[in-house]
Amino acid sequence: MSSAAAALAGTGVAGLHVHANLTAAGLVAHALRRGEGRLSADGAFMAVTGQHTGRSVQDKFVVDDPEVHDAVWWGKVNRPLPVAKFQNLSKKVRAWLGQKPELFTQDLYAGADPAHRIRVRLVTTNAWHALFARNMFIRPPRAELEDFRPDYTILHAPEYEASPEEDGCRTSTCIALSFAARTILIAGTSYAGEIKKSIFTVMNWILPERGVLPMHCSANIGRSGDTALFFGLSGTGKTTLSSDPERSLIGDDEHGWSTDGVFNFEGGCYAKVIKLSREAEPQIWDASHRFGAVLENVIADEHGVLDLADNNLTENTRSCYPIEFIPNTQAGGRAGLPRNVVMLTADAFGVLPPIAKLTPAQAMYHFLSGYTARVAGTEKGLGKEPQATFSTCFGAPFLPRHPEVYGRMLQERIAQDGAQVWLVNTGWTGGAYGTGQRMSIAHTRALLRAALDGSLAKVEFTRDPFFGLMIPKAVPGIPANVLNPRESWGDKAAYDRQARHLVSLFEGNFESFAGAVDDAVRAVAIRAAA
């Protein structure tokens, strides 16, 4: 078997010239040769993704294979694609890839726990996309690459334009996942986040059958061995808050929670860097200003000096780097059972407290609610301002199974392992978006530090009348008007109106999953006063 044939084995692609499993240096050299981007002054590779600067949510499909039909959560998240349409499109994409003068492949693992990992083979037309995947996933030792056989294949064709009439898709962009064929097609978009999120969806499909809860969360571990999880959508501070100099990072985005503990799905980080501050986030800053990092849609001057405040291309500017670029990481990407679970929200209405302690039933409720504010630019067509939204399990776009599957598993894990759960608002205070101000990172870090070291659980709490949340009365170093959001508003009547409005939104959203939860969860559901 030729080297090209070996590199493409199991993919169905017949390429002539394949760059297989190149290192970062080799991939950057090819990317520069091919004109795929340029280097920053600090050596990071800079790529521009063109029309697509975020995920194309409406162009994602799951193939309606008969063997998985009954288990898939069909709807806006998982749009069905007929098997015949997928087979025809995959045939065309494979032929298109095979005609390219050169291809790049990477053989990688998803899942730090050997008992639950999958082997992934990426085939792409661009060196920088191969570097992105190499940064994001786990790089096998050289010896394990010799007999590598992929469990899943990603056929990455960013320049290929699908045909809505022929292929059953909505536009020329198509992200299609077949669990039966164990194949992912990504066509018509250069946004690299589609690569990582497609594999997250696969892990969300595979792991529940193994008794493992897959989670869209970051995780870190303290010096005493205490593991903490951080749930939250993009822009809520998940990456920022888990990158704590006093704690070791396990991973910044995707994890599994098994009976043995927590493990990272990835080998890298994908941080949002718009308006990134060196002072507030030194670890992410340093990781983004060095060779080996990949920067998406970040602006720089003619000398390559970055301007992280420039949002001319998108608010969703990104930095992708291997996790070892963060100085204090957990070796092996694995840790023990979680002691604390943090659910992050960016409340655009400015009415939720900066931190609240949740009961197990409230934890289940807020996990299924997944309330936050979608941050501008994270998804194509979102607009310039944050929008209140509910994303089930803090990761609805990546859930192939029904949400209650993951909700029940979380409830069971919290009960079995005794984790304390916190709801943290990293959004607005003193007013809604546009009139109030964003919650201080320093205040959030101080509150989290108290929660994770156990001291916050010992203070006196008071019950919020609108949302039923237990709010600490006093925390050293935190102003009292910050802890109680109503007190941070100059106009108390305006706060009450906004709070009642958000209550109504929670109440309406609860209707979608009320029948899938037990009486304890229904009893703590947020609802308007009778």
Q: What CA–CA distance (Å, rounded) separates 499 from 506? A: 11
Query: Helix %, strand %, coil % for the chain, to 5?
Result: 30, 25, 40
* Dihedral sign for Cα atoms in the order 455, 457, 461, 467: positive
* Contact yes or no for 187/173 (Cβ under 8 A): yes
Asked about 259 being catalytic, the answer comes back as no
Asked about 380 being catalytic, the answer comes back as no
Closest CA to 384 of 347, 445, 434, 323: 434
Q: Which residues contact 15 (CB under 8 A, 6 or more apart)?
A: 4, 7, 8, 97, 98, 100, 102, 103, 123
Q: 473-480: which pairs have CB atoms within 8 A and are 24 or more residues apart?
A: 475/446, 475/447, 475/450, 477/446, 478/354, 478/443, 478/446, 478/447
Asked about 272 being catalytic, the answer comes back as no
Closest CA to 499 of 347, 345, 369: 347
Asked about 53 being catalytic, the answer comes back as no
Buried b (16+ CB within 10 A) or exposed e, 323-353: bebbeebbeebbbebbbbbbbbbbbbbbbbb
Q: What CA–CA distance (Å, rounded) separates 196 from 346? A: 23
Catalytic residue among 113, 253, 347, 464: 253
| Assigned token pair, 21 | 């499993």
* Contact yes or no for 329/486 (Cβ under 8 A): no
Asked about 253 being catalytic, the answer comes back as yes
Catalytic residue among 183, 234, 243, 392: 234
Asked about 234 being catalytic, the answer comes back as yes
Closest CA to 404 of 359, 369, 374: 369
Catalytic residue among 30, 40, 49, 55: 55
Q: What CA–CA distance (Å, rounded) separates 524 from 358? A: 10
Catalytic residue among 60, 92, 117, 197: 197
Catalytic residue among 117, 119, 196, 216: 216
Q: Which residues contact 381 (CB under 8 A, 6 or more apart)?
A: none
CA angle centred on 114, ends 77 and 153, rounded to 5°: 45
| Assigned token pair, 34 | 């091919």
Asked about 33 being catalytic, the answer comes back as no
Asked about 216 being catalytic, the answer comes back as yes
What number of other Cβ atoms are within 10 A of residue 160's Cβ? Answer: 21
Catalytic residue among 79, 92, 139, 238: 238
Q: What CA–CA distance (Å, rounded) separates 222 from 249? A: 9
Q: What CA–CA distance (Å, rounded) separates 424 from 340? A: 12
SS (H, E, C) 314-371: CCCCEEEEEHHHCCCECHHHEECCEEEEEEEECCCCCCCCCEEEECHHHHHHHHHHCE
Active site residues: 55, 197, 216, 234, 238-239, 253, 318
